[in-house]
């Protein structure tokens, strides 16, 4: 089969002809119909996030049709449309048995620790295949398995409830989904904090109150807009100590700040006046859980989570096209999502 693989860190991905994987009794073989190109793939190619065993087929946002199932697989059948949960886990360690597979002792990420979706076929455990309703295209089924799933996990971790207000710091891929999902939760006011004018305008069009961080301190703006009290929940999706601190400071008493963005900077908080006194919580968010995916898929089926066709760009399973898409992603400031569609 054709695959596009990372052979050497820092170099363009290469086209390869490799065998179709053979499945074990608990696996399924999926003919890939769509594979999203994610910003983390740019980091893998550049060596910013380390990949240990090369060559490797990248791609962790995957949807397709089941071609073959192992004898022990009962949740899906050959011919089913599916999307793929990218965390492969053992199912039996102390974390897996509690449904917390992102901490699995022997967990592997598809497209990082094992071959991913830039290929015609992929082998995954049956437990990682989730039925994709006919209403959801393969392209949307693929791209929602990463940033949208993590945005949903962030809302769940923040115990976000109907009627609550929320501030979203950063309106990239995560923010684009977080805003729609917050509205699907029947939220109160949504404030989107950004510095990019096009993103601020897009957030406004999608029903949020745009907070231009270049115009004035975002915390002051949010306080003013909420009658001095602040918001119930803040999501930090940027990965900077400055915005993480702002996410905590814009909370009302009992508010929860969920930190999703990655940074190595340290964040300063005054324990008494900024945390204890208000009983606010700072919550770390990492990846997402298989148990959250059925709800996510249902939000997509009912179009509460949407990726309009104009923001989807389709390319071939072709190394040159994929490398160009990865180059473009390095500097992207829009919501365009590139999806690889292999030959049928």
Bridging pattern class, strands 337-340 and 312-315 = parallel
Q: Does 89 bind Zn ion (CB under 5 A)?
A: yes
Q: Does 329 bind Zn ion (CB under 5 A)?
A: no
Q: Does 325 bind Zn ion (CB under 5 A)?
A: no
Closer Cβ to Zn ion, 100 or 195, answer by number: 100
When CB distances to Zn ion are compared, the closest residue is 38
Main-chain phi, psi angles of 331, to 5 degrees: -115, 10
Q: Does 283 bind Zn ion (CB under 5 A)?
A: no
* Shortest Å, Cβ 22 to Zn ion: 24
Among 3, 76, 96, 326, binds Zn ion (CB under 5 A): 96
Closer Cβ to Zn ion, 172 or 255, answer by number: 172
Q: Does 112 bind Zn ion (CB under 5 A)?
A: no
With CB under 5 A as the contact rule, which of the stretches 84-92, 134-142, 155-163, 228-236 interacts with Zn ion?
Answer: 84-92
Closer Cβ to Zn ion, 110 or 222, answer by number: 110
Largest Cα–Cα separation, the chain: 62
H or E segment at 233? strand 231-236
CB atoms within 10 A of CB 78: 12
C-beta separation of 139 from 339 below 8 A: yes
* Shortest Å, Cβ 146 to Zn ion: 3
CA atoms within 13 A on the CB side of 58: 32
C-beta separation of 205 from 198 below 8 A: no
* Shortest Å, Cβ 104 to Zn ion: 3
CB atoms within 10 A of CB 205: 9
Helix 149-157 × helix 293-301 angle, to 10°: 120
Among 29, 30, 35, 38, binds Zn ion (CB under 5 A): 38
Q: Write the interaction track for Zn ion spanning residues 43-82; mark x where CB under 5 A is met and - where it is not.
A: ----------------------------------------
* Shortest Å, Cβ 140 to Zn ion: 14
Structure tokens at 141: 């089924």
Q: Does 109 bind Zn ion (CB under 5 A)?
A: no
Residues between 134 and 163 that touch Zn ion (CB under 5 A) = 146
* Shortest Å, Cβ 90 to Zn ion: 4
Q: Does 88 bind Zn ion (CB under 5 A)?
A: no
Closer Cβ to Zn ion, 149 or 233, answer by number: 149
Q: Does 127 bind Zn ion (CB under 5 A)?
A: no
CA atoms within 13 A on the CB side of 154: 28
C-beta separation of 119 from 112 below 8 A: no
Q: Helix-strand-coil percent breakdown of the chain, rounded to 5? A: 30, 25, 40
Bridging pattern class, strands 2-6 and 14-17 = antiparallel
C-beta separation of 284 from 259 below 8 A: yes
Q: Does 93 bind Zn ion (CB under 5 A)?
A: yes
H or E segment at 213? none
Among 90, 109, 269, 283, binds Zn ion (CB under 5 A): 90
Q: Does 289 bind Zn ion (CB under 5 A)?
A: no
With CB under 5 A as the contact rule, which of the stretches 94-102, 159-167, 282-290, 331-339 interacts with Zn ion?
Answer: 94-102
Bridging pattern class, strands 190-194 and 166-169 = parallel
* Shortest Å, Cβ 213 to Zn ion: 25
Residues at the site binding Zn ion, with contacts judged by CB under 5 A: 38, 40, 89-90, 93, 96, 104, 146
């Amino acid at each position: 089969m054709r695959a596009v693989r990372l052979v050497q860190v820092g170099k363009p991905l290469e086209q390869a002809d490799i065998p179709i994987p053979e499945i074990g009794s608990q696996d399924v073989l999926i003919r890939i119909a769509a594979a999203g190109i994610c910003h983390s793939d740019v980091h893998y190619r550049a060596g910013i996030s380390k990949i240990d065993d090369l060559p490797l087929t990248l791609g962790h946002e995957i949807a397709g049709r089941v071609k073959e199932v192992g004898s022990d697989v009962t949740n899906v059948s050959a011919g089913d449309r599916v999307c793929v949960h990218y965390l492969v886990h053992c199912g039996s360690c102390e974390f897996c048995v509690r449904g917390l597979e992102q901490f699995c002792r022997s967990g592997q990420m598809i497209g990082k620790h094992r071959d991913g979706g830039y290929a015609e076929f992929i082998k995954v455990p049956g437990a990682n295949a989730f039925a994709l309703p006919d209403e959801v295209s393969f392209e949307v089924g693929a791209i929602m398995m990463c940033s949208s799933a993590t945005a949903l996990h962030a809302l769940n971790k923040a115990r976000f409830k109907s009627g609550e207000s929320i501030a979203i710091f950063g309106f990239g891929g995560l923010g684009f989904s977080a805003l729609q999902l917050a509205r699907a939760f029947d939220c109160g006011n949504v404030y989107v904090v950004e510095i990019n004018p096009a993103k601020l305008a897009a957030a406004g069009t999608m029903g949020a109150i745009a907070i231009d961080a270049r115009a004035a301190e975002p915390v002051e703006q949010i306080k003013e807009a909420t009658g001095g009290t602040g918001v119930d929940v803040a999501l930090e999706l940027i990965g900077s100590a400055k915005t993480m601190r702002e996410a905590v400071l814009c909370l009302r008493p009992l508010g929860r700040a969920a930190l999703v963005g990655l940074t190595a900077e340290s964040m300063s908080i005054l324990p008494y006046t900024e945390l204890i006194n208000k009983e606010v919580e700072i919550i770390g968010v990492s990846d997402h859980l298989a148990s959250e995916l059925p709800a996510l898929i249902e939000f997509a089926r009912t179009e509460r989570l949407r990726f309009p066709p104009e923001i989807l760009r389709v390319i071939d399973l072709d190394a040159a096209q994929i490398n160009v898409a990865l180059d473009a992603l390095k500097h992207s400031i829009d919501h365009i999502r590139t999806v690889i569609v292999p030959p049928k």
